[in-house]
Amino acid sequence: MARIPGRQPTAPPTLADVAERAGVSRQTVSNAVNNPDLLRADTLLRVQEAIEELGYLPNRAARNLRTRASHLVGLRINPVQEGTASAIMDRFVHSLVETSREAGKHVLLFAGDPLDPLAGYDDLLRSTAVDAFVVTDTYLGNPQAAWLGARRAPFVAFGRPWDNPAANHPWVDVDGAAGCELATSHLLDQGHERIAWIGWRKDSWIGEDRRSGWTRALRARGLSTTGLASRVEDTVASGRGASAVLLDEARPTGFVCASDTLAMGVLHTLAERGLVAGRDVAVVGFDDSQVAQVVPPGLTSVRQPLEEVAVEVVKALEGLLAHPPAVGPGVLLTPTLTVRGSSSAVGFGT
């Protein structure tokens, strides 16, 4: 990289450096970067050469100050839940970063006090550090949505506004009911007729949604759900306990679970009883976590299309930050089912 004498050896070149080198004004360089159409072809070429030679790239801070935009998207991350199989954030974050890059944005991570869902948002907003937020933890009944809305802070939610269908912020979500219906139908197709559900407590909107997919699939085949459902906390121990009770009292031949964590609990029960998943009892989880992928004999699981979610989220962000802002309707994506050994003898061997 060529250096201008008299400058700090590490200071990157500025617009003025390029202008001098190309023999034009600073403004023309700016136009070459942002509105190339305005330049005559030969001028443009000369400026571009100078840019190339100097390795010029616009200074972010200066541009941000001038345009009042940071091209940064804030994403709050919570601590990893140890002892669970929860694994979607990892994949989602990567997809979001990747997609954001294509849209000329970067992702700014910030931490949040798990007890205060609002912590961190305010400072970033008031210091104009980010242009918008991506809000992911809507499962709590997200006060963020209302709060951010009240502050006129642009944001896109990954997750439906369950508690307020009239909310007018953009959102993207995955159809959990469809996923569980898919899972249940898969077991029905394998010949199972007594299929149990292990899900979350009734106050979880997501949990009730997923459960409805199980109900729907059984009803569609004229099968009863009575005595086959259990609602517990999202822990391996709860899954194990619930499956033990269900096996004793309802004798199901298959389990559909609201999470991979609960499904792993079922695998624990089976291991204790000398039963083999996929041969003796079928098990399906939700999220297609790494756990599902590597546990013997492989856990069949509902997979959220997180790459698509990221694409839709970024699309919504771009609309939101456009002039004038454009807010489309919520987007509901359909998950797929990844079949492994836990639900089909064929799948044995990973």
Partner DNA sequence: ATGAAAGCGCTAACAT
Partner DNA sequence: ATGTTAGCGCTTTCAT
Name the binder of 24 from its own copies, DNA, none, CB < 5-8 A by kind: DNA
Buried b (16+ CB within 10 A) or exposed e, 251-272: ebbbbbbbbbbbbbbbbbbbee
How far is residue 56's CA from residue 106's CA, in Å, rounded to a whole number?
20
Site for its own copies in 276-295 (CB under 8 A): 289-291, 293-295
> Residue 15 or 277: which CB sits closer to DNA?
15
* Under rule CB under 7 A, residue 71 binds DNA: no
> Residue 37 or 82: which CB sits closer to its own copies?
82
Q: Which of 60, 221, 251, 273 binds its own copies (CB under 8 A)?
A: 60
* Under rule CB under 7 A, residue 125 binds DNA: no
* Under rule CB under 8 A, residue 79 binds its own copies: yes
Q: Which of 3, 4, 20, 33 binds DNA (CB under 7 A)?
A: 33
We find the least distance from the C-beta atom of residue 104 to its own copies, in angstroms, to be: 11
- Counting beta carbons within 10 angstroms of the beta carbon of residue 43, is it exposed (0 to 12), middle (13 to 18) or buried (19 or more)? middle
* Under rule CB under 8 A, residue 127 binds its own copies: yes
Q: What is the DSSP string of 31-98?
A: HHHH-GGGS-HHHHHHHHHHHHHHT----HHHHHHHHT---EEEEEEPPP-TTS---HHHHHHHHHHH
- Counting beta carbons within 10 angstroms of the beta carbon of residue 37, is it exposed (0 to 12), middle (13 to 18) or buried (19 or more)? exposed
For the chain, count helices (H), then strands (E).
13, 12
* Under rule CB under 7 A, residue 34 binds DNA: yes
* Under rule CB under 8 A, residue 16 binds its own copies: no
How far is residue 32's CA from residue 50's CA, in Å, rounded to a whole number?
11
* Amino acid occupying residue 58: P
* Under rule CB under 8 A, residue 140 binds its own copies: no
Q: Which of 4, 33, 44, 97 binds its own copies (CB under 8 A)?
A: 97
Name the binder of 129 from DNA, its own copies, none, CB < 5-8 A by kind: its own copies
Answer yes or no: are the C-beta atoms of 54 and 2 closer than 8 Å.
yes
* Under rule CB under 8 A, residue 64 binds its own copies: yes
Name the binder of 38 from DNA, its own copies, none, CB < 5-8 A by kind: DNA
Which one of the spans 26-34, 157-165, 220-228, 240-248 is the region binding DNA (CB under 7 A)? 26-34
We find the least distance from the C-beta atom of residue 34 to DNA, in angstroms, to be: 5
Strand arrangement of the beta sheet that strand 229-232 belongs to: 229-232, 195-200, 254-257, 282-286, 300-303, 336-338
Q: What count of other Cβ atoms lies within 10 Å of the Cβ of residue 7? A: 12
Q: Which residues bind its own copies (CB under 8 A)?
A: 9-10, 12, 55-62, 64-65, 68, 70, 72, 77-80, 82-87, 89-91, 93-94, 97-98, 101, 106-111, 120, 123, 126-129, 152, 236-237, 261, 264, 267-268, 271-272, 289-291, 293-297, 350
